[in-house]
Amino acid sequence: MKRPIKVLIAKAGLDGHERGALVVAMGLRDAGMEVVYTGIRNTPEQIVAAAIQEDVDAIGLSSLSGGHMAQFKRVLELLKKERVKGVLVFAGGIIPDDDAKKLKKLGIKAVFGPGSSIASIAEFLRKYARAK
Amino acid sequence: MTMQGKELTKLVTRLEDGEALPSEVYAQTGRARIVGITGPPGVGKSSLIDRLIDELRKQGKTVGVIVVDPTSPISGGALLGDRLRMQRHSEDTGVFIRSLATRHHHGGLTDSTPQIVHALDAAGFDIVIVETVGTGQDEVEVAEVVDTVAVVLMPELGDDIQRAKSGLMEIADVLVMNKMDLMNADAARREARPPNDARNWERPTIHTSAKTGEGITILCGALTAHHAYLVDSGELARRRERAARAEVIRLLQSRLTLSILHALEAPLAQSILTDVAKRKLDPHDAVEKLSNAIWDRNK
Amino acid sequence: MTERREEPGKFPFTRGIHTTMYRGKLWTMRQYAGFGTAQETNKRYKYLLSQGQTGLSMAFDLPTQIGYDSDDAMALGEVGRVGVAISSLADMEQVFRGIPLDKVSTSMTINATASILLALYLAVAGKEGVPWSKVSGTVQNDILKEYIARGTYIFPPLPSLRLIADIVEFCAKEVPGWNTISVGGYHMREAGCTAAQEIAFTLADGIAYVQTCVDRGLNVDDFAPRIAFFFNCHSNFLEEVAKFRAARRLWAHIMRDRFGAKNERSMMLRFHTQTAGSTLTAQQPDNNVVRTTIEALAAVLGGTQSLHTNSKDEAIALPTEESALLALRTQQIIAHESGVTAEPDPLGGSYYIESLTNQLEQQAREYLHKIDNMGGMLKAIEGGYVYKEIYRAAYEHQKTVERKEKIIVGVNEFVGDKKLVLKTQTIDPKLEPRRRRELATLRKKRNAARAEKCLATLEKAAKSSENLMPIIVDCVRSYVTVGEICKVLRRTFGEYRPSHSI
């Protein structure tokens, strides 16, 4: 049986709005993926530790409070420091275009803004996340 | 610790995908205490484990945790949300937490759970905790993999549910009544008496509240006491023998099933099946016809 | 269907809590604002007041809401983002410099740290020479919804309810003009629940708070008139009008029949409304002006006491000055040009509105009944029931949008080719280092012994059942910081650990 794609959906920082992250988590489950959802108030360190232990194919970071630059940057730095390979990082939430461009340069493969469909996220993952 | 985070995590992934446990890893197993935590959904198993990890770490023990959640039969996906309640331990190098989806295996465990337990055991964790989906009658399978079974319930679950969970009660070495903070404590203490049991181990009922931390130290103590009982009475060796036997049988069954399914793909087999559906051939005769083909294949 | 003879200003207030409603006095135009520094916030407030806004609404950054000073490690990347950073009395003084606290009323969106922010406000009033009896405003102070829909909780439920009751008790005596709880459905609706659930879960939270205060020995009529509500105004125009009417009718009955209130003012559901942020789109943002207008109109026809209209760029970032102004103008045009203020509850009597009102009332009643059977809202929340209901509804909604059963203009239909890039407000990256310096200076300059003593008193009182408000006021006057107070309270009360699941 082909191994399902495994995704970690996490919210970094202090933002407590879960709707988007939860809806995406449920949607990806219904799209046949295994989704680890770690809730709110994760530090970048906790996110990376979870991603390693769970051996995920992708990490979806959600932010609506504007703290994304500092926090997502830190996640990417830690992934590099821990020499984590082959993990796709994508983001969602309220992220202005300029910031999205900067994040993509840092290594975030896609930013899904408001109005994005679960179908498009699932398609993106099927295309780019290599299920081992 | 014999295996570091990434090495262990990659091994678990390979085991999850059905690969065999390397024999040199299996040779390292047998040292860890294996504890199963099971019970119906919503009783607070994950929050309880979060607290147990605290307590065990205070005692200087390292902990490996396997959390199992059901795969959706329709989509094949799974929402693994139990880790959320243990996230604060993520950075502790003495703790390893891994969520697994059942991937269509019944009985609350994944096909590969025994192997993954072995991997954590071999990695050097003092305690390996396995949290399983509380599906009821199927819980019996948990008992075949772990040394100590803690069944978690909560007060006021209702008589019907209690009866359905009687399979759970049979395998419970320790009974935990969680969420004591919410309910009428006296009523709960009345409910807590376990059914009669012929074993020498006196199954304790521990009242806990994962929310307040009440009873956690006592629970830890009960788990340790049970392990001591297993060792002293020789029961541990017997359980491990049963576990090994069960594991081998399961692997054999798995292999045989694959074999059978493969054999059924043959055109002759297909036509036999069609005959059964059309009432031209009865199932037992069909099996006679087919089993010759299948057993021949395996000679 | 029985014919109801309901009248505005008369029990059960379905048609409005006042007899003349807006003919007598318009709703308060209260635009949520606050970001970055105390200085910027002060400037924006003065601007909005000069443009005709009649009440101030304060937004705080997440560290302030969650009890961390701007220099705390947990505050990294969050300082001044979703609101103003307030760590001490110095910051609060800066926000209200030149603003007479006896002439404006301030609504503070603050929950877990409501007691501290209220204390800060009162300390500023004291310094301005304004007696507390002349001070008016609101603290949201609604912790239950935080656990399920907003996330800015700190302590577990019981100590949090204690703090809420401390505020209610304190204000009943010392600050009679203060609205002590603003029970919110806005966030739960934003999180995805339905209109009927919004009514039910909000009123259930209200019931829990009233019960907590009554259990403490307070007389319901002594504090209930000061409990206010905060609702969402969503896109289904007619359903929303009916929702407000149903909510008023239900609450009136709950207060009179369940809690035995005698004072009519205890039975009146007074509420602030905010148009639904979740209906705003990043695609074709000008459409949002139209959406907000329709939603605002529904809130006015629904009889709101106070209204915030969203700016068109609110889906993307904090609003610019221009879009914030347009949002305010939207309300002013409805108030002065549309004529809908001529009669209270002008849609009352319409077959459809009355029938929708009854339907929503019935659905909400069923939810309330269910929650009662679970042992009340606190148990319903802790058992995960409310969380599941809300987020499953959210998921269902998403599915209807993706299946195009629900059309969102510009998003899944009538899509434009050009993607509009809006000018967004940016936060100064030097803010966090500056805040660190400010706090270091504050801690050096203040009377350290006095600060220590206050904190020690606080810790002792927190362990007892003493009302903490006077002590917190003392603390903030001694320039003890928000974070320092919360550290003590975290130590004493513990921290809430979520345990929900879907």
Which pLDDT does position B292 carry in this prediction? 74
Query: How many domains, in total, are found in chain A?
Result: 1
pLDDT band of A114, cuts 50, 70, 90: confident
Q: Do C391 and A22 touch (CB under 8 A)?
A: yes
d(CA C246, CA B204): 52
Among C501, A131, C391, A89, residue whose Cα is nearest residue B80: C501
Taking the CA of residue A95 and the nearest CA in chain B, the distance in Å comes to: 25
Is B243 within a domain?
A: no
Query: How many CA atoms are closer than 13 Å to the CA of C107, on its beta-carbon side?
Result: 28
Mean pLDDT to the nearest integer, B102-116: 75
Q: How many residues does chain C have?
A: 502
Write out pLDDT tens, residues B193-246.
444 444 578 889 999 988 888 899 999 999 999 999 999 999 999 999 999 998
d(CA C102, CA C97): 13
* CA distances from residue C1 to B35, B78, C359 in whole angstroms, order as listed: 61, 47, 11
Mean pLDDT to the nearest integer, B79-101: 94
Which pLDDT does position B159 carry in this prediction? 53
pLDDT in tens, chain C (502 residues): 455 689 999 999 999 999 999 998 999 888 876 666 899 889 988 987 888 776 888 999 999 999 999 999 989 888 988 889 999 999 999 999 999 999 898 999 999 999 999 999 999 999 999 999 999 999 999 999 999 999 999 999 999 999 999 999 999 999 999 999 999 999 999 999 999 999 999 999 999 999 999 999 999 999 999 999 999 999 999 999 999 999 999 999 999 999 999 999 999 999 999 999 999 988 888 999 999 999 999 999 999 999 999 999 876 666 778 898 999 999 999 999 999 999 999 999 999 999 999 999 999 999 999 999 999 999 899 888 999 999 999 999 999 999 999 999 999 999 986 565 655 556 788 899 999 999 999 999 999 999 999 999 999 999 999 999 999 999 999 999 999 999 999 999 999 988 777 7
Residues B274 and B226 in one domain: no
Reply yes or no: is the peptide bond before residue C12 cis, omega within 30 of 0.
yes
Is A79 within a domain?
A: yes
pLDDT at B1 over 60: no
Residues B196 and B274 in one domain: no
Q: Do A45 and B99 touch (CB under 8 A)?
A: no
C502 vs B46, B79, B210: nearest CB:
B79
Q: What is the C-alpha end-to-end distance of chain C, expressed in Å?
A: 38
**Which of A23, A40, A46, A54 should we substitute to test contact with B (largest number of B Cβ atoms within 10 Å)?**
A54
Share of chain A above pLDDT 90, in %: 78
Query: How many domains, in total, are found in chain B?
Result: 2
Indicate the DSSP class of residue C99: -
The residue of chain B with its CA nearest to that of A84 is B6
Residue C420 contacts A where some CB pair is shorter than 8 Å = no
C382 vs B79, B85, B182: nearest CB:
B182
pTM for the whole thing?
0.90
Taking the CA of residue A58 and the nearest CA in chain C, the distance in Å comes to: 21
Q: Which chains pack against A, by 3+ Cβ pairs within 8 A?
A: B, C
Q: Do C379 and B182 touch (CB under 8 A)?
A: yes
Query: How many CA atoms are closer than 13 Å to the CA of C290, on its beta-carbon side?
Result: 8
For tokens 């019960």, what's the residue?
A: C211
Mean confidence (pLDDT) of chain B: 84
Is A107 within a domain?
A: yes
d(CA C250, CA C366): 12
Angle made by CA atoms C317, C322, C323, in degrees to the nearest 5? 50
Which pLDDT does position C439 carry in this prediction? 97
The domain that contains A98 carries what CATH number?
3.40.50.280
DSSP B37-88: EE-STTS-HHHHHHHHHHHHHHTT--EEEEEEEPPPTTTS-EEE-GGGGGGG
d(CA B13, CA B198): 41
Q: Which two tokens stand for residue A6?
A: 């495994």
3-state secondary structure string across C300-366: HHCCCCEEECCCCCCCCCCCCHHHHHHHHHHHHHHHHHCCHHHCCCCCCCCHHHHHHHHHHHHHHHH
DSSP B198-259: -SSS---EEE-BTTTTBTHHHHHHHHHHHHHHHHHHTHHHHHHHHHHHHHHHHHHHHHHHHH
Is B140 within a domain?
A: yes
Q: How many residue pairs bridge chain A and chain C with CB atoms within 8 Å of each other? A: 97
**Which of C35, C62, C147, C401 should we substitute to test contact with A (largest number of A Cβ atoms within 10 Å)?**
C62
DSSP alpha helices (H): ranges in C134-194? 143-145, 157-174, 186-191
Q: Look up the ipTM and state it.
A: 0.94
d(CA C94, CA C382): 40
Q: How many residue pairs bridge chain B and chain C with CB atoms within 8 Å of each other? A: 25
* Stretch (H or E) spanning B122: helix B113-123
Q: Which residues of C touch A96 (CB under 8 A)?
A: 316-317, 424
Q: Do A17 and C151 touch (CB under 8 A)?
A: yes
DSSP alpha helices (H): ranges in C3-155? 38-50, 62-65, 89-95, 114-128, 143-145
The rounded Cα C361 to chain-centroid distance in angstroms is 23
**Which of C60, C61, C76 should we substitute to test contact with A (largest number of A Cβ atoms within 10 Å)?**
C76
Is B238 within a domain?
A: no
Which pLDDT does position A70 carry in this prediction? 84
Q: Is B153 helix (H, G, I), strand (E, B) or coil?
A: strand
Residues 6+ apart with CB under 8 A from B226: B148, B173, B174, B201
DSSP alpha helices (H): ranges in C186-236? 186-191, 195-215, 220-223
Which pLDDT does position C32 carry in this prediction? 77
d(CA C58, CA C38): 11
Enclosing domain of residue A37 = 6-128
Is A1 within a domain?
A: no
Lowest-pLDDT range, B9-23, B122-136, B283-297, C411-425?
C411-425
A94 vs C190, C316, C395: nearest CB:
C316
Q: Is C275 helix (H, G, I), strand (E, B) or coil?
A: strand
Considering only the top CATH level, what class is C21-402? alpha beta
d(CA C168, CA C166): 6
Mean pLDDT to the nearest integer, B122-136: 87
Q: Do A66 and C190 touch (CB under 8 A)?
A: no
Residue A54 contacts B where some CB pair is shorter than 8 Å = yes
Which pLDDT does position C31 carry in this prediction? 81
Q: In chain C, where are the structural domains located?
A: 21-402, 431-493
The domain that contains B196 carries what CATH number?
3.40.50.300
Taking the CA of residue A128 and the nearest CA in chain C, the distance in Å comes to: 22
The rounded Cα C29 to chain-centroid distance in angstroms is 15
Annotate B240-261 with b (16+ C-beta within 10 A) or e (fewer): eeebeeebeebeeeeeeeeeee
**Other beta carbons less than 10 A from residue C85's beta carbon:** 30
Q: Do B210 and C502 touch (CB under 8 A)?
A: no
Enclosing domain of residue B135 = 5-233
Query: With a CB-CB cutoff of 8 Å, which residues 8-47 of chain A face chain C?
Result: 13-19, 22-23, 25-27, 39-41
